[in-house]
A and B are shown apart, each in its own frame.
Chain A
Amino acid sequence: EADIYQTPRYLVIGTGKKITLECSQTMGHDKMYWYQQDPGMELHLIHYSYGVNSTEKGDLSSESTVSRIRTEHFPLTLESARPSHTSQYLCASSAFRDATYEQYFGPGTRLTVT
């Protein structure tokens, strides 16, 4: 079973606030990812990391930033939240299993910016 955690699960916050979405995994996986998903829509990769001190931008442009100081921790930060940031944010990590890198997802954070 995957052990990947996200906090908070739900967040309602005002415009202009700085927020950090937490993601932790206890599996020792090197690769971690952040996806953004609008309601009823597909997931879009916004950030990923190959390991400590490695971060890359994904396909979907995002105003968020990430850091990877420890293997198990991959937080996402929005310096100034806006209503357009309202979405679900899903964190994932991956391990090689059965000839592919299988991605394990956290429960997600539903962000609402008012």
Chain B
Amino acid sequence: AQKITQTQPGMFVQEKEAVTLDCTYDTSDPSYGLFWYKQPSSGEMIFLIYQGSYDQQNATEGRYSLNFQKARKSANLVISASQLGDSAMYFCAMREDGSEKLVFGKGMKLTVNP
């Protein structure tokens, strides 16, 4: 069964510093995708970045990069140069290819301090 684990309940980071948000996953399917979403206090889910299980390179999207370590089954999100607007809940999610189900972790709260 698919499972996503985010063990950090909350993190604090200074503005302009980099921060790493941890995510480990478990699946027996060799083909899957990993996603990170941001959820501000307003409630909407904002897609940040995607990594396919067969992708050779780590995904990057602007200030976001995904540190994908397939053997360790981890997909950590790295945010460079944190901004105050980055304060939000962050969710890691996974979908096995061929499935409609996007399985989410419990999320973690990031607070960026000025």
Interface residues of A (CB under 8 A from B): 31, 33, 40-45, 48, 50, 56, 58-59, 88, 90, 92, 98-108, 110
Contact = CB atoms under 8 A, between A and B. Distances in A.
A106 B91 CA distance: 16
Given A45-B102, A58-B101, A100-B33, A108 B107 contact: no
Contact of B100 (A56, A90, A98, A105): A56
B105 A45 contact: no
Contacts of A100: 33, 50, 52, 95
A107 B42 contact: yes
Contacts, number: 58
Nearest to A99: B52
Q: Which 7 pairs show the lowest CB-CB distances between chains A and B?
A: A105-B45, A108-B43, A42-B104, A107-B44, A43-B104, A42-B106, A100-B33
The B contact surface, by secondary structure, is strand
24 contacts: A33-B102, A40-B89, A42-B104, A42-B105, A42-B106, A43-B102, A44-B104, A90-B45, A92-B45, A100-B33, A100-B50, A100-B52, A101-B95, A103-B45, A103-B47, A103-B102, A104-B47, A105-B37, A105-B44, A105-B45, A105-B46, A107-B42, A107-B44, A110-B43
Given A33-B102, A105-B44, 9 more contacts: A42-B4, A42-B91, A42-B104, A42-B107, A43-B104, A50-B100, A90-B44, A100-B95, A107-B42
Interface of B: 4, 33, 35, 37, 42-47, 50, 52, 89, 91, 95, 100-107
A100 B100 CA distance: 11
A105 B48 CA distance: 12
Contacts of B50: 98, 100, 102
A103 B80 CA distance: 24
Contacts of B89: 40
A100 B44 CA distance: 21
B100 A48 contact: yes
Contacts of A45: 100-102
Contact of A107 (B4, B35, B43, B52): B43
